Amino acid sequence: MDITPVKSIKDIPSEENLLSGTPACAGCGGLLTLRHCLKALGENTVIVNAAGCFTLLSIYPFTPFMSSWLYTAMACAPAGAQGVRDALDILIKKGRLDSEEDLKVVVLTGDGAAYDIGLASTSGALYRNLDFYYICYDNEAYGNTGFQWSGATPFASKTGTTPPGKTAPTGTLTNKKNLFEIWRSHKPPYLATISPAYPVDLYNKVKKAEQYKGPKLFIALSPCPPGWATDPSHSVNLAKLAVDTGIWALKEAVHGDVKHTLIPRKFKPVENYLKEQGRFAHLFKPVRQEETIKKIQEMVDGYWKEVGI
Ligand SMILES: Cc1ncc(C[n+]2csc(CCOP(=O)(O)OP(=O)(O)O)c2C)c(N)n1
Ligand code: SF4
């Protein structure tokens, strides 16, 4: 197992043949995340995918994946992963599968499944120390069904179910759940946040996770042009801006110890990130919501102060 970190994107092997011809929206940050993750995971994987946008990637009898793929209901991808892991272990034990041919079991879900509907089955899998990867592409809403509010939706975002109006001019009133800490409280061996705009950081994290037996979890903030009301060509810049403003902290936790893997030298104002997106347009027009913008900046500043940076 070679887990030597790579230094540049040029050192990352091509993912040729791992994923091709995908029917997702142009500029989908989740898809870009998946591509980068597959480069690190390789083709000996079985992907267990909860209902969401990526369910549509494989349409029987066609699939863009070189690897195996299994579809589950939103609530139970980690339970599906348990079944696959158990089946592989039994086949290896019976000598019907060479351990060299073992597969990595990878759960792939959106935030609706990860933060809300599938959280109980994830908790169960973590508790059982299931040996699997979990990749959550977090577009901060239920994307596939029209961008409805999820537990991952940030304060003040407009969604299909939290439109800004007279009673709630900010749109969403609640704060984003802290899934990283919810997962960390279960003490998995490896846990990280990742970004499609930082492929070297992403690749090294997924590779590093390989050495740990048990749950290996990844949350990727993933721009979603139709839901975020952004230009598809801006997705990578936007994902980068989320990191550069400090709104998306890149970090990992090895056996619970948290380390930030990329700290911006100079944090950009969060306003730069918000004003790029139609889902926050009501904060700027017709009247600028100064207090709300200030509150979001304070929340970001508060996070970095709390972690001592
Ligand atoms: C229990 C349940 N409720 C609702 C649905 C309908 N549904 C299918 S996909 C989807 C959206 C999933 O959102 P998310 O997990 O964030 O993934 P994304 O669509 O953003 O890829 C919903 C609500 C469902 N399949 N199961
Ligand atoms: S709706 Fe968003 S998450 Fe879903 S495929 Fe389109 S860009 Fe990707």
**Confidence (pLDDT) at 59:** 84
d(CA 13, CA 246): 29
Mutate to test the pocket of ligand 1, among 56, 76, 142, 222 (most ligand atoms within 8 A of CB): 142
Domain 9-306 fold is: Rossmann fold (3.40.50)
Closest residue by Cα to atom 4, ligand 2, is 53
> Domain segments of the chain: what residues?
9-306
How many other C-beta atoms lie within 10 A of the C-beta of residue 207? 19
Ligand 1 proximity of 142 Cβ (cutoff 6 Å): yes
**Confidence (pLDDT) at 249:** 98
Ligand minimally distant from the alpha carbon of residue 115: 1
Q: Which atom of ligand 2 is nearest to the CA of 147?
A: 1
Tokens describing residue 222: 């993933």
Distances 65 to 38, 45, 52, 281 between C-alpha atoms, Å: 10, 10, 17, 37
Provide CB contacts within 8 A for 60, sequence distance 6+.
Answer: none
Pocket lined around ligand 2, Cβ cut-off 6 Å: 24-25, 28, 30, 53, 139, 143-144, 224-227
Provide CB contacts within 8 A for 161, sequence distance 6+.
Answer: 148, 149
**Confidence (pLDDT) at 58:** 87
Provide CB contacts within 8 A for 224, sequence distance 6+.
Answer: 25, 28, 29, 30, 139, 140, 141, 143, 147
Exposed/middle/buried for residue 277 (C-beta within 10 Å: 0-12, 13-18, 19+) = buried
Distance 74 CA to ligand 1 centre (A): 6
Closest residue by Cα to atom 3, ligand 2, is 224
Ligand minimally distant from the alpha carbon of residue 116: 1
Mutate to test the pocket of ligand 1, among 32, 107, 144, 177 (most ligand atoms within 8 A of CB): 144
**Confidence (pLDDT) at 17:** 65
Low-confidence ranges of the chain (pLDDT < 50): none
Place of tokens 């975020």: 228
Q: Which atom of ligand 2 is nearest to the CA of 56?
A: 5
Mutate to test the pocket of ligand 2, among 144, 153, 233 (most ligand atoms within 8 A of CB): 144
d(CA 49, CA 256): 26
Taking the model in full, what pTM does it have? Answer: 0.97
